[in-house]
Structure formats: structure tokens, C-alpha cells
Amino acid sequence: MKRISPIDIAGGIIVVAILALAPMFAASNYLTGVLTVCAIYGIWASSWDFMSGLTGRENFGHSLFIGTGAYTAGFLSSIWSASPWISLPLGVVIAIAFSLLVGFPTLRLRGPYFALAMLSASAILQRLCLIFWEYTGGEEGLYGLDPLIKNPLHYYWFVLAILAVTVIALTLLAQSHWGLLLRAIRGDEATCQAAGINVTFYKIVSLMISAGFAGLGGALYAHYQLQVSPPLFSVVVSITVIIMVYVGGIGSIYGAAVAAILLTLLTEMLRGFGEYRLWIYTLTLMLILFFLPNGLIAPLWRRMTERFR
Amino acid sequence: MLQILIYGAVSSAIYAMLAVGFTLIFGVARILNLAHGSFYALGAYAAYVLTSLLGVPLFIAAPLAVLIVAGFGVVMERFLVRPLRSSQLAVLMITLAVSLAVEQALFITFGSEYRNVPSFVADKLSIGGVDISGQRLLALVAGVLVLLGLWLFIQRTRLGAAILAVSQDPEAAQYMGIPTNRIFSIVMAISAGTAALAGVLVSPFLTVQPTMGLLPMVKAFAIVIVGGLGSIPGSIIASLILGYSETIVAYLISSSWTELVSLVAVVVTLMIRPSGILGRRAAF
């Protein structure tokens, strides 16, 4: 069992410090905005990694939780004009409710049911958003949300702090007895069951945790964009998150967060490629599956810091 | 009433063509093909390119489109899926990547606007006072014929017996001298071909656009879960159940609610009988 060594903590502090200070050097709202999106993707990727990376149950519809969190914020803020601070906790609660809805019937089963059900549920919810356009605003979605914090730079720092808390909390959980059990489930579910571990319970609770953080990220995203629209539920969002985790190194959590930040920056640089962007993304995924099945960021970091451990 | 009966049969036939291919490749090769919907979309687009852009006559274009997509399926299985077959997760990831790549490629080449494919049969028929376009009827007839042909092929031919053998125990089949890898290629071709045929047949009366594959694939998942993963008769029964209940919901309540039918069916099935109606192995 690998523990967190001082070098990991030092590395984490340096990365967070660089990210926090980055907007000071090139003071532009554009850069701050991009970095905010980077941090939000970091929350989504690390929350995906916590459930699917540790238990090995691939969640192909993380956008379901992201979208429900964001739409909760959308309804609360734009229709019922509630305070933006209420939408964060409620976004978490609603996302967790959806995770129970999908997780309860599917996670007690073996086989691909969970992956299929998550993919279907997110696709169907996106469709429902379009069908019930009277309530959800259809293609255009809901807009006119209130910002959480007016100053974009302060909002960026707030999101970055939440990302740091997310990564620390999930890493500690993953290193705990609890995380060990999740890893054991990934290794051999039948043996775990034979050892008297309530496998289903652990899987469902870890999905709830994952969904909660994803919903939080969704609500943060909604209050950054100040609008929500059906593409938040799309398969593309889910697959983007999964690619980030794969690049980061599955099951490492911090790797997923770093990869999310780097890939979002890269995407921003590739904006010139327009519609070819997603192509480049899927191609990256195929190449990684074939040549780097363990990912890039986490193995690289481990090798670089080997002698300091 | 008769209207429900006929329209339900048409959508059941289309669902069955999609679901049978999906369950076949899972049952035989244990490949959960998330790119199945893109075969359907590719079929429709191939029909569009051949007829509207190249001016190939319809009755040549349709089989040609099916063949092209079947070839695409075989190439995908051979070069992308087979090297990763040892890991179920990698297979899921690579097929999902293929489906996105196809969707994006269609989007880049053809744009997001709807495309039109000419009808195969222009006449409208009237059965017992219900008007139905010849194209829908053709989809129904073709669906039934394809399923019947597939059943005969698997039950009556040597190749079909080999496919059955591989689905029951791939290792034992290999020891008996059955070339499993070639069987996988053949099954992939059949699976991609039936999905493409469904796409070709619906292209005149549904909208042809890059994301058209996703929702039918979700329906295919639902059908296969309700019918039992890997069971062909199960998926045909489930196609009938789903096709008819969607049509009934559309007539009695509103077509908006049809999308929920498959979701409810999946949840209920997984709660009550996770292995599906005719699943061979318990899913627990």
C-alpha cells in the first residue's frame, strides 16, 4: 500500500501555488476563465476516478451527475431565483439521488449492466431536456443564473480551493481502509464477498461520493457559465472526463486532476482546429489504450520522484 | 387499434434488427460493442451518399451500403478490438472511441443538417383502412426476412453450428478445430450488416444526421437487457414488447413519453429478473 510521501505533498503545494498565481502574471479574464474550467474538469475527473478507477466499474455516463448538478443550479437560480449558495449543496444532493436511482438496480449485478445503464441514463436525460422544453428551455437551456462570486479571479480561487479539497479528500479516502476495500473489489469481487464484505454497499456508497463531487462540479460550472444547456448531459462530456482519467493514470486521483488541467489547456490551444478537436481527443484515447495502458501523468510522477521516497 | 398493431410491428422489426446484432456479437465473442449505433448511422449515410450523391440505383445501393458497413465492422474488430480483447474495459473504451470518431467524421464531412434519402417504394398502401407508406412496410418485411434467414443460418448450416459452438465454449470450440478468430470476424460482419440494413431501411422516413446512432443504440441496450444478454430469441421478444409499448404510449399519452419506456423497462428488469426474459446465465 503506497502512502503519501512528503514529496507528493510538496509537489501538490507547488502545483496549486502555480495555478493560484498564474492569473497574476498574465492578468486577463480570458486566462482566468480557462483556468476555472480547468479546475472544474479536475473535480469531474478525480470524482470519476474515485468510483470507477478504484472499483473498476466503468461509469460511461458521468455527465448524468454533472448535468443534474448543473440543472439543479439552473432551476434554482434562474427560475426560482434562489441564492446561488443554496444551489451548491442541492446540486450535490440531487446528483446523489440520481446515483442511487441508477446504482441501486445495476451495481448489485456483475457484468456490463452498470456501464450500459449509465450511458443510457445520461443519453435519455439529455433527450428529455429537449422534449420537455417548456420547463428546461430546450436547446437553449436555462440562462440568467446569478454568479456565485462576482469577481472572476476570486471565483477562480474558490473553484481551485474546492478542487484541492476534492483531491485531498478523495485521496485520503482512497488511502484509507475504505479505499483498500474498493481496490479489493476491483481485484476479485467473489473473494471479497466470501470474506464477508458487503460488496454492493461499498460500490453504491462510492458511486454516491463520486456523484456528489460531480454534481458539485456541475453546479460550479453552471454558476461560471451563467447558463445550462442539454450538451452537459452528452456522451462527449463523459468521454472527455474518462480520457482525462486515462491520461492521468487510472486509480491515482491526483493524476486525473492534473491530466484534466493539462488537457483542458491543450483543448483551448487546439481551438483553432475547430471541429477536428474531438477527433484529436478520440485519437489520443485510442493511442493511450494501445501504448500507455497505465496512463501518463501518475507513472511519470512516480518515476521522477522515485529517489526522494 | 389496427394502426397500433401495424406501426408497432414496424418499430419492433427495426429494433429487432439492431438488437439481434448487438446481442449476437456479445453472445459469441463477449464483445460489448458500443459502436453498434454507428453501424446504423453509417448504413443510412452510405445509402445517402450512394443514391443522392453518386446516383446509384436504389436496389444496388442498399446491398452495397450494407456490405461497406459490414466490411467496416470486420476491420474494426480485427485491428482495434482484437488486440485489446483480454480486457473487457479496454474493449468498451475502444468501441466507444470508434463510435465517437464515426460521429465526428460524419459531422465534419456532412455537417449537422438533416439529409434525405429517396424512398424505395413510393406507393402508400392501405390495410384495413390504415394508411401506411410502402417504405415502412418494406422495413417490416425485410426485418422479418432477415431475422428468419439468420435463424435458419444459425440452426441449419455448418457455419451456424460453429458460431453456436463458439458462443457456448470458445476454448472447447477451438480444440475441435473451429477457427474462433474467423468466426468472430463473420459474426461481426453479420452484426454490422444487420444494423446497417436497419439504418438503410429507415433512412427514407427518419432523419439522417450524425448523432442518429446514439438513441437507437440505447434502445438496443434496453432490449438486450430485457431479453437477456446473448439470447437472440430473448431480444426478439423484447423488441416486440418495447416496440409495441412505445407505440401504445405514443398513441395514448404523447410521443414525448416514449423515451421513458425503455428506461423503465430496463430498471424493472434489473430489479425483478436481472438475467432478462431468456438470459442463459444469471447475472448475479
Residue pair B28/B164 in contact (Cβ under 8 Å)? The answer is no
Q: Which residue has the higher pLDDT, A288 or B44?
A: B44
What is the reported pLDDT for B281?
53
Query: Of B146, B178, B149, B144, which Cα lies nearest the Cα of B161?
Result: B178
What are the angstrom distances between the C-alpha of A29 and each of A147, A158, A271, B34?
15, 15, 17, 40
Whether ipTM > 0.90 holds is: no
B264: closest chain A residue by CA: A121
Most confident region among B58-62, B109-113, B157-161, B250-254 by mean pLDDT: B157-161
Distance from CA of B124 to the nearest CA of A (A): 30
What is the reported pLDDT for B150?
92
A279: closest chain B residue by CA: B101
Beta-carbon separation of B283 and A109 below 8 A: yes
Q: Which of A110, A127, A289 sits opposite B259 (nearest CB)?
A: A127
What is the reported pLDDT for A108?
81
**For residue B255, pLDDT beyond 80:** no
Contact of A293 with chain B, judged by CB distance below 8 Å, is answered with yes
What is the reported pLDDT for A187?
83
Q: What mean pLDDT is predicted for residues B137-143?
A: 89
B102: closest chain A residue by CA: A279
Report the length, in residues, of chain A. Answer: 309
- Helical (H) or strand (E) element with A174: helix A152-175
Distance separating alpha carbons of residues A243 and A240, to the nearest angstrom: 5
What is the crossing angle of helices A29-48 and A199-225, to 10°? 170
Contacts of A275 in chain B (CB under 8 A): 104, 107-108
What is the reported pLDDT for B284?
35
B270: closest chain A residue by CA: A105
The model's pTM is: 0.85
The DSSP bridge pattern shows strands A142-143 and A227-228 to be antiparallel
pLDDT classification of B283: cutoffs 50, 70, 90: very low
Distance from CA of A172 to the nearest CA of B (A): 26
- Helical (H) or strand (E) element with B216: helix B214-227
- Report chain B's mean pLDDT, rounded to a whole number: 87
Distance separating alpha carbons of residues B229 and B283, to the nearest angstrom: 9
Contact of A187 with chain B, judged by CB distance below 8 Å, is answered with no
Contacts of A286 in chain B (CB under 8 A): 80, 94, 97, 101
Q: Where are the alpha helices (DSSP H) in chain A?
A: 6-25, 29-48, 54-55, 62-74, 84-107, 113-131, 133-136, 152-175, 177-187, 189-194, 199-225, 235-248, 254-269, 277-291, 297-304
Amino acid residing at A96: I
**For residue B77, pLDDT beyond 60:** yes
- Helical (H) or strand (E) element with A228: strand A227-228
Distance from CA of A13 to the nearest CA of B (A): 33
Tell me the three state secondary structure of residue B114: coil
pLDDT classification of B282: cutoffs 50, 70, 90: very low
Residue pair B135/B120 in contact (Cβ under 8 Å)? The answer is yes
pLDDT classification of B92: cutoffs 50, 70, 90: confident
Distance from CA of A17 to the nearest CA of B (A): 34
**For residue B280, pLDDT beyond 80:** no
Contacts of B92 in chain A (CB under 8 A): 58, 60, 112, 115
Q: Which of A105, A132, A289 sits opposite B84 (nearest CB)?
A: A289
> What residues in chain B have their Cβ under 8 A from chain A's Cβ atoms?
32, 34, 80, 83-84, 88-90, 92-94, 96-97, 100-101, 104-105, 107-108, 214-215, 218, 221-222, 225, 229, 256, 259-260, 262-263, 266-267, 270-271, 274, 283-284
What is the reported pLDDT for A3?
67
Residue by residue, pLDDT tens for chain A (309 residues) are: 456 777 888 888 888 888 888 888 776 788 888 899 999 999 999 999 999 888 888 888 999 999 999 999 999 988 888 888 888 999 999 999 999 988 888 888 777 888 888 888 888 888 888 888 888 888 888 887 888 888 888 899 999 999 999 999 999 999 888 888 888 888 888 888 888 888 889 999 999 999 999 999 999 999 998 889 998 998 889 988 988 898 898 888 899 999 999 988 888 887 777 677 778 778 878 888 888 888 888 888 888 887 777
Q: What mean pLDDT is predicted for residues B153-172?
A: 90
Residue pair B13/B139 in contact (Cβ under 8 Å)? The answer is yes
Contacts of B157 (CB under 8 A, 6+ apart): none
% of chain B exceeding 90 in pLDDT: 39
Distance separating alpha carbons of residues B284 and B45, to the nearest angstrom: 40
What is the reported pLDDT for B57?
84
Q: Best mutation site among A62, A116, A134, A242 for testing chain B: the one with the most B CBs within 10 Å?
A: A116
Contact of A138 with chain B, judged by CB distance below 8 Å, is answered with no
What is the reported pLDDT for B120?
74
Ramachandran region, residue A82 (left: φ > 0; alpha: ψ -120 to 50; beta: rest): beta
